Chains A and B, each alone.
Chain A
Amino acid sequence: MGNPAQQFDIIVIGGGHAGVEAAWAGANSGARVALVTLDPTKIGVMSCNPAIGGLAKGQIVREIDALGGLMGRVTDESGIMFKVLNTSRGPAVRGPRAQCDKHAYARAVQRHIEGRDEITVIGAAADSFLIEADRVCGVRLGRTTDEAYEGVTLRAGAVVLTTGTFMRGLMHTGQQQRPGGRFGEAPTGGMSDTLVSLGFELGRLKTGTPPRVLRGSLDWDSLEPQFGDEVPRPFSDATDLASFPPMDQVACAITRTTHEAHELIRANLHRAPMFSGQIESVGPRYCPSIEDKAVRFADRESHHVFLEPESHESDWVYCNGIATSLPAELQDEIVRLMPGCGRAEIVMHGYAVEYDMVRPHQIDATCETKRYSGLFLAGQINGTSGYEEAAGQGLLAGVNAVRRARGDEPVVLGREEAYIGVMMDDLVTRTPVEPYRMFTSRAEHRLLLRADNASDRLTPLARALGVIDDAAWSRFERRTIALEGAHAAIEGADSEGRPLREVVRTNGFGVEELTTFLPGTALPVLETVLADRRYEGYIVRQRAEIKRQREAERRPVPSWLDVSALEGMRLEARQALARFRPTTIGQAGRLAGVNPSDITLLMVAIERSRASDRVRIQPVAG
């Protein structure tokens, strides 16, 4: 067997959705990657709702796909119900979503990872970092599942840390508390201590999960079924339509909570960790627990609950809508009060989990920590929620970790380029007070940031970064030619005496109508053409605005600038700048407490220090 490899280009700690994309992006960049995770059989596990995408999140998955990532492909391989949300709205605010078979999903992820020679999976805990001159250049392994790695120190040019909910994870079900990051899995405590000792400021967040019930214990016939789209659409451009979807499709069902259950909850609030003070950290407002709903919206008689089968291989059904940390026996009663669930058997009770995050003002928009070069953070450790948000950060962190290891310039995505860019910018300019989730309303350029045009926005960049293969690139080139052809054809055509270019913008003119003018054009191309035409006016204006702002937006704020020495700047602005240490003028301008005059001062201060620097470093003439 010999000595195991100890030298890598990058090390990724954690095998969740952030870690997987980081490792994958690293491999796509041609780097040698170590993927260190506590339990390699849990790589790619969906710990909460086995669904991918949705509004804004679906756009992120499309962006990940355009950048060569894995999530879209795996979703297509394991999806058991595909549905585009918000089809009554315009194309910019529709979101593709899929229910996945959670076992098939994790298996597909693991198969892809195993298929990459560049990636070495190591079953171990990572306890601490190897740091040389403020540069993280390795990881010391703790307990391992592979004896060969016992006590080994791995070396690499950069490290990506993705701890998910495992840092000092504490799970609550009623008054019962268990340390753990996920049901049945131990937490890591050492990493929190390591980060604190390195000077990082940690925060604590909470998230929750609902009970799972046995499929056979439900009365499905009495429930209203929910179906996916008649013609499912894949997430990934690489997916072959001929064999899609590969999995048998399922239906979900809708039921509801009852008034009686709400009364029961309100009478037992003293046993609810969310209300008894047992849980102090903040949970997400967009994903309230059922006890939260019963208290805050007391006038409502019932709330919808979606019963979503988790897999063909197991009988577990996810009760979407009743996340809870109430005592187990109460959960049984609440579930059995739901129509169609009178004899329901809970196979896993809901729980809340509290975990540590590193407040994200300590990273920059590349995911790298400002304190230690070579250390990248991605996913829930940065205060986000959701597989998609985690995966987007993981991909960016993976790409940038490799670039750091090679000494290349880092990559930042702008708010006008990608939802991933919006997310990174939000994270580094505002500390999340709840787990951060993406919404379309967070993106000021959302008419540009659509699911249909993700490849147009990002694939050229992916090509320049060298993270997509030739097949993806030639697919993109074919698409570009088709788009140009379609636009040219529209310019020359008439529809019942009116120029087609005007008719395409009218309400009710859709893909079916357009395809009669452009026979043989692929559906994704038609959709982009329609969306581009519909939003043309805004797109022109938004692009002008983007161009106007670009230079200030990307103008760097040098890290050596001593903000506290900016005399004359208001204290509030100095404090905000000192805490967030923005890396660009654009970021600085978005900080709360910083106004345009402060920005003027900041720019002058930067230029002045530069000028005096130039004077200082001039060589002495011989």
Chain B
Amino acid sequence: MPGLPGTIVALASPQGQSDRALVRISGHHTRAMIESLCAVTLEVPRNAMRTAMNIGAPSPLPVLVLWSRGPRSYTGEDCAEVLCAGGRHVPGRVIAALLRAHDGARPAEPGEFTARAFLNGKLSAEASEGVQALVSADSEDERLAAQRLLSGETGEAYRTLADDLTGALALVEAGIDFVEEEDVVAIPMGELRSRITGMVRTIDGLIGPERTRAARTGQPRVVLAGAPSTGKSTLFNRLLGRERAVTHAAPGTTRDTLVEEHRLDGRLAVELADLAGLDRALSARSVADAGAQAGAERAMAEADVVVWCDPTGRFEGGGLDLRTMAPETPFVRVRTKGDLADAEVRGLSVCALDGAGIGALERAIADACLGLDRSGAGAVVARHDAALRNARTAIAEALGLEEAEEIAGCMRIALDALAPIAGHVHPDDVIGRIFATFCIGK
């Protein structure tokens, strides 16, 4: 196997833009990875096989697998393509499952499939002229996406984690390399273990929300929100094309959040949710109303896109600022009950009764959904997940060890695993931390 080591996995289809997704795998362990997740034996190359993949969900995911044996493949290595349901979350789970299936698996670097094809002589020098442009374009996108993620709270959490780990490693290393120094006292094993246990918990916390989000159907969740009696349920039914929600003029008719799958504009599948009308005053009316309010607020927080319904077209007032409930989430503002409006309406306006403006609204929602993934954040998130899990495995192993040099070895592996998301920590950095902490030197 040439230069680039490892078996690489990546999404090969555009994200969020189709209802089917293609995940590509290339490298020595391809076959083992597929066979460990699907009940198939890959013997005949280039034979599409219908099977189901265990992605950690209660039931296996139906997939189509096309396997080719190197060197007679696109990259020149053993290679597979997995066709599965599309949307925002399913491909990510497939990728995560594949990455976990083998130690030698890792997310592909941008342009790496093409690069491998070229390095294995599957593309001529002329045909590969575009590789460079492709790689730099991809990596710039990924870099920006990573930067966005890393500049936020998550990035801060990763860096804090790596920093804690570096600090603890410095204490362990000080006890190895400088234990003859008067000033250096090796960190007591109990304290080290409790620090590491804390880090394991931190990692679990960082993996956690990802897992719950991925446990949903994997499609972007679009919620219809607004004050009571703003026509959300009527719009919900109109979008679905059937009477799913009970509608009534009385405020507070909808109490439970209703969720249905819907194909926007005939192409993009989403989860469409109808919420209870948001009004804090309703909470006081009854326990059931209070529960409905809490449920609606939770649904707002989990939404990928919020459709703010307001027949007045003012999107303000009423003591209710929806923006503050989901500050990071894209909003689509729509004036409902368009039949009641004056002639000069600006922005989106729909009339659920006759369907006026519905097409434009669907396109606007679809655009908002596609905007979610345009940055390549999906791929970045898969990498984060892989990095965190590998780091966790390594430090959890350290908990069972006695000897400092073995514990340090595990901590070093964990730091290296975190490198893609928290930055590389060089041995020099660890040594620098030791000098900053202790008086070293005879």
Contacts and interface: CB of A to CB of B under 8 A. Distances in A.
A604 B176 contact: no
B45 interface: no
A597 B135 contact: yes
Interface in B176-216: 176-177, 179-180, 182-183
Given A551-B5, A597-B139, A604-B115, A442 B427 contact: yes
Contacts of B432: 285
A577 B21 CA distance: 38
Contact of A604 (B128, B139, B431, B440): B128
Contacts of A293: 439, 441
Interface in A596-614: 596-597, 599-601, 603-605, 607-608, 611-612
A93 B404 contact: yes
A601 B119 contact: no
Contacts of B124: 611
Interface residues of A, number: 60
Contacts of A611: 124-125
Given A286-B441, A320-B442, A552-B4, A600 B135 contact: yes
Given A300-B439, A304-B182, A608-B125, A548 B104 contact: yes
A601 B132 contact: yes
A601 B135 contact: yes
Given A86-B176, A300-B439, A551-B1, A444 B128 contact: no
Contacts of A567: 132
Contact of A92 (B111, B138, B405, B439): B405
B152 interface: no
Interface in A571-602: 585, 592, 595-597, 599-601
A551 B131 CA distance: 22
Contacts of B321: none
B427 A441 contact: yes
Given A297-B439, A306-B442, A597-B109, A568 B5 contact: no
Contacts of B412: 444
Interface string B159-186: 0000000000000010011011011000
Given A441-B177, A552-B4, A568 B442 contact: no
B177 A287 contact: no
B2 interface: yes
B272 to A, nearest CB: 38
B330 interface: no
B135 A56 contact: no
A337 to B, nearest CB: 18
Contact of B5 (A92, A321, A548): A548
B180 A86 contact: yes
Interface string B107-149: 0011110010011000011001001110110110010000000
Contacts of A287: 441-442
Contacts of B112: 600
Interface string B40-72: 000000000000000000000000000000000
A79 B34 CA distance: 61
B3 A552 contact: yes
A441 B404 contact: no
Contact of A603 (B119, B182, B440): B119
A89 B435 contact: no
Given A568-B136, A585-B3, A604 B177 contact: no
A90 B132 contact: no
A442 B173 CA distance: 10
Contacts of A288: 439-441
B357 interface: no
Contacts of A509: none
Contacts of B405: 89-90, 92-93, 440, 446-447
Contacts of B6: 548
Q: On chain B, which size bracket covers the interface?
A: 35 or more
A93 B128 CA distance: 48
Contacts of A31: none
Nearest to B111: A600
A441 B173 contact: yes
Nearest to B136: A568
A450 B108 CA distance: 35
B428 interface: yes
B409 A447 contact: yes
A603 B120 CA distance: 12
B141 to A, nearest CB: 11
A90 B431 contact: no
Interface in B326-363: none
Nearest to A437: B431
Interface in A427-442: 430, 439-442
Contacts of A320: 442
A290 B422 CA distance: 37
Central interface residue in B110, B180, B432, by most chain A CB within 10 Å: B180
B403 interface: yes
B421 to A, nearest CB: 13
B179 A304 contact: no
A60 B402 CA distance: 27
B3 A555 contact: yes
Contacts of B111: 597, 600-601
A513 B104 CA distance: 39
A300 B402 CA distance: 32
A177 interface: no
Contacts of B138: 597
Given A89-B405, A93-B176, A303-B439, A605 B427 contact: no
B224 interface: no
B367 interface: no
Central interface residue in A286, A548, A600, by most chain B CB within 10 Å: A600
Nearest to A306: B442
Given A86-B180, A440-B176, A597-B109, A321 B442 contact: yes
B395 interface: no
A268 interface: no
Central interface residue in B4, B111, B430, by most chain A CB within 10 Å: B4
Interface in A284-306: 284-288, 293, 296-297, 300, 303-304, 306
Interface in B397-434: 402-406, 408-409, 412, 426-428, 430-432
A55 interface: yes
B404 A89 contact: yes
Interface in B1-56: 1-6
Interface in A176-216: none
Contacts of B110: 597, 600
Nearest to B397: A537
Contacts of B109: 596-597, 599-600
Given A303-B439, A538-B406, A567-B132, A86 B179 contact: yes
Interface in B279-319: none
Given A568-B135, A597-B110, A551 B441 contact: no
Given A89-B179, A568-B132, A604-B131, A441 B430 contact: yes
A304 B442 contact: yes
Given A90-B406, A93-B405, A608-B125, A551 B3 contact: yes
A618 interface: no
Given A90-B403, A441-B430, A286 B440 contact: yes
Contact of B119 (A297, A306, A566, A604): A604
A608 B127 CA distance: 10
A303 B184 CA distance: 12
A86 B142 CA distance: 46
Nearest to A287: B441
Contact of A85 (B118, B180, B428): B180
Given A304-B182, A446-B405, 8 more contacts: A56-B177, A293-B439, A306-B442, A441-B430, A569-B132, A597-B111, A597-B136, A608-B125
13 contacts: A85-B180, A88-B179, A90-B403, A92-B405, A285-B435, A287-B441, A551-B2, A568-B135, A585-B3, A600-B111, A600-B112, A603-B4, A604-B131
In order of increasing CB-CB distance, the 5 nearest A-B pairs are A568-B136, A611-B125, A597-B139, A285-B435, A297-B439
